[in-house]
Amino acid sequence: MARPLSGLNLLERLLSKIVVDSVTDCWVWQGGKQNIGYGLMRDGKKMRTVHRVSYEEHIGKIPIGLCVLHTCDNPLCCNPNHLWLGTLKQNTHDMMSKGRARHFGDGMKGKKQPRTTCVHCNRSISNNVYGRFHGVKCKSFNKE
């Protein structure tokens, strides 16, 4: 069972959950993470990303409107030497120049959903929507 962290301050809690990568020198967060890969930790009643916490604890306050960017491109890294401040425009430029951008218009990359053809209107509808708007609920069926 993990030891309780309630008696530790924010910086001590942050440092207790990192592993230093000897190759990249990244401080890799070993705690919880959000769905897009950034580390998360609780700060009072708020959940905060660990790279922002690390920046504030080691370097200083983050001015309103600025982002904390990674030179290493590792979203779990919280090494203050790998973090720098930039605008949203700089963050977007950094992302695109390093080939990490999702290009608009590529469409969804998810798995193809199974489809059913409605017997009333002959439209091919994905199964997750079919029950709500087609079958006996189809507008064509209700016109008959």
User: What pLDDT was estimated at residue 88?
Assistant: 94
User: What pLDDT was estimated at residue 28?
Assistant: 95
Per the structure, the complete domain to which residue 68 belongs is given by: 10-97
The parts of the chain modelled with pLDDT lower than 50 are: 1
User: What CATH number should be reported for the domain holding residue 58?
Assistant: 3.90.75
- pTM to 2 decimal places: 0.66
Q: Are residues 87 and 17 located together in one domain of the fold? A: yes
User: What pLDDT was estimated at residue 112?
Assistant: 72
- Please return the burial class of 27, using the count of CB atoms within 10 Å of its CB with bins 0-12, 13-18 and 19+: buried
pLDDT digits (tens, 9 = 90+) for 115-134: 888 887 888 887 777 777 77
102 domain-assigned: no
User: What pLDDT was estimated at residue 122?
Assistant: 84
Q: Calculate the alpha carbon distances from 36 to 23, 42, 74, 104 in Å.
A: 24, 17, 12, 18
User: What pLDDT was estimated at residue 60?
Assistant: 96
User: What pLDDT was estimated at residue 39?
Assistant: 94
